[in-house]
């Protein structure tokens, strides 16, 4: 038998699962669910009192006096659109295997009513296919976050993929480091850290380390603070390169891809004849080169001259390799 003090929680769980703005529950329907699920007999007046208790706790419930129909839970941990966004992110992640993805999505959907959940289930599809999945990643993240919260150093070993696609330890790769923050950049998790007896900050792929042990030694202090966003931008996204201005000419149709890729770092400086445009892009050389090689037949680099020569040299090497 459910204790009397727990009945507000029972009503909350019923409203959470069986009500939303399109599925309003009458007091009688709530009474029936209480009896069926929790074996609790409750008169209507007691239901009204428990609704007041839930509202006094800050839970938003629309009632009969608001809509002349009944009750539904307004206040949820996630909005339906937020759950959809999170589910899509999980479903498309290369880090999460299909079975685990489905389990996580199920938990997210359970934050909604069963009716909203059914609608979400019809529109969310977990991506199939081979994924280079490393279950150790999730254990590593937990261990590192514990070490960070406790201010402790850790020991670990670095790993890499062998020719069979399995992760194996790199020879003489045991390290001891002070962990400062974990972060996600361009599809991978990283730990920002400083090795013992090395002054500079470093980053390690969290899925490329194993055998993490939390040590009873405090982390090395960093003076001046750490900005993970700035660090990731400079050393992971930009790979330590300096940004430069690059000039290209292309058809107008390619502008959509440019704007999506480079955002406000790209501007149209001139519209030429036949829908050709001249574009100036401010980015790092490696990122610009990768994009140009992807769109070789659709664009032409006009500057800087040194970068144009580098692209030309890459094309000639490829030509000799594939057209001999």
- CATH number for 194: 2.30.30
Q: In this structure, is residue 157 part of a structural domain?
A: yes
Same domain, 197 and 140: yes
Same domain, 209 and 154: yes
Same domain, 145 and 221: yes
Last residue of a domain, one of 168, 196, 226: 226
Q: In this structure, is residue 201 part of a structural domain?
A: yes
Q: In this structure, is residue 209 part of a structural domain?
A: yes
Q: In this structure, is residue 239 part of a structural domain?
A: no
* Separation in Å, CA 146 to CA 95, 110, 217: 21, 28, 14
Same domain, 168 and 197: yes
- Scanning the structure block, which residue is given the tokens 């009873």? 216
Q: What is the rounded CA–CA span in Å between residue 228 and residue 222?
A: 13
Last residue of a domain, one of 226, 253, 284: 226
- Domain interval for residue 161: 136-226
Same domain, 216 and 249: no
Q: In this structure, is residue 47 part of a structural domain?
A: yes
Q: In this structure, is residue 236 part of a structural domain?
A: no
- If residue 194 lies in a helix (H) or strand (E), which one and from where to where? strand 188-195
Ramachandran quadrant class, 10 (left: phi over 0; alpha: psi -120 to 50; beta: rest): alpha
Q: What is the rounded CA–CA span in Å between residue 178 and residue 156?
A: 11
pLDDT per residue, tens digit, the chain (324 aa), is 555 668 888 999 999 999 988 899 999 999 999 999 988 888 888 888 888 888 888 888 988 677 678 899 988 888 888 889 888 888 877 777 778 888 888 999 988 999 888 888 887 877 665 555 557 788 899 999 999 999 999 999 999 888 888 888 888 889 999 999 998 888 889 999 999 988 889 999 999 999 999 999 999 887 777 888 888 888 888 888 899 999 999 999 999 999 999 999 999 998 877 788 999 999 999 999 999 999 999 999 999 999 999 999 999 999 999 887
Domain count within the chain: 4
* pTM of the complete model: 0.68
Same domain, 116 and 141: no
Same domain, 173 and 248: no
User: According to the model, what pLDDT value does residue 244 have?
Assistant: 94
Same domain, 170 and 99: no
CATH number of the domain encompassing residue 249: 3.30.70
CATH number of the domain encompassing residue 10: 1.10.10
Q: In this structure, is residue 12 part of a structural domain?
A: yes
Last residue of a domain, one of 59, 93, 123: 123
Same domain, 209 and 274: no
- If residue 195 lies in a helix (H) or strand (E), which one and from where to where? strand 188-195
Q: Mind giving me the DSSP string for 47-77?
A: HHHHHHHHHHTT--EE-HHHHSS-BEE---S
Q: In this structure, is residue 194 part of a structural domain?
A: yes
């Amino acid at each position: 038998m459910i204790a009397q003090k727990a009945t507000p929680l029972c009503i909350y769980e019923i409203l959470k699962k069986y009500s939303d703005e399109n599925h309003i529950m009458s007091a009688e329907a709530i009474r029936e669910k209480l009896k069926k699920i929790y074996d609790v007999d409750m008169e209507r007046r007691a239901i009204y009192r428990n609704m007041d208790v839930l509202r006094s706790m800050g839970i938003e419930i629309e009632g009969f006096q608001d809509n002349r129909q009944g009750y539904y839970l307004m206040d949820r941990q996630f909005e339906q659109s937020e759950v959809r966004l999170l589910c899509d992110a999980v479903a498309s992640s290369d880090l999460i295997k299909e079975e685990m993805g489905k389990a996580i999505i199920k938990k997210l959907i359970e934050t909604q009513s069963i009716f909203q959940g059914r609608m979400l289930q019809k529109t969310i599809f977990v991506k199939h296919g081979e994924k280079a999945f490393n279950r150790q990643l999730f254990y590593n993240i937990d261990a590192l976050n514990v070490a960070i919260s406790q201010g402790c150093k850790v020991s670990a070993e670095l790993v890499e993929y062998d020719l069979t696609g399995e992760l194996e330890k790199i020879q003489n790769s045991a390290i001891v480091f002070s962990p400062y923050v974990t972060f996600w950049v361009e599809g991978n998790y990283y730990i920002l850290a400083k090795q013992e007896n090395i002054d500079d900050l470093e980053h390690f792929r969290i899925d490329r380390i194993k055998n993490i042990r939390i040590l009873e030694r405090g982390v090395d202090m960093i003076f001046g603070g750490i900005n993970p966003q700035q660090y990731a931008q400079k050393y992971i996204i930009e790979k330590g390169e300096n940004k430069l201005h690059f000039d290209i000419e292309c058809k107008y149709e390619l502008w959509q891809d440019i704007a999506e890729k480079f955002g406000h770092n790209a501007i149209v400086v001139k519209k030429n004849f036949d829908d050709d445009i001249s574009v100036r892009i401010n980015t790092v050389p490696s990122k610009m080169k990768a994009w140009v090689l992807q769109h070789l037949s659709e664009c032409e680099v006009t500057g800087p001259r040194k970068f144009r020569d580098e692209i030309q040299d890459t094309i000639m090497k490829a030509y000799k390799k594939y057209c001999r």
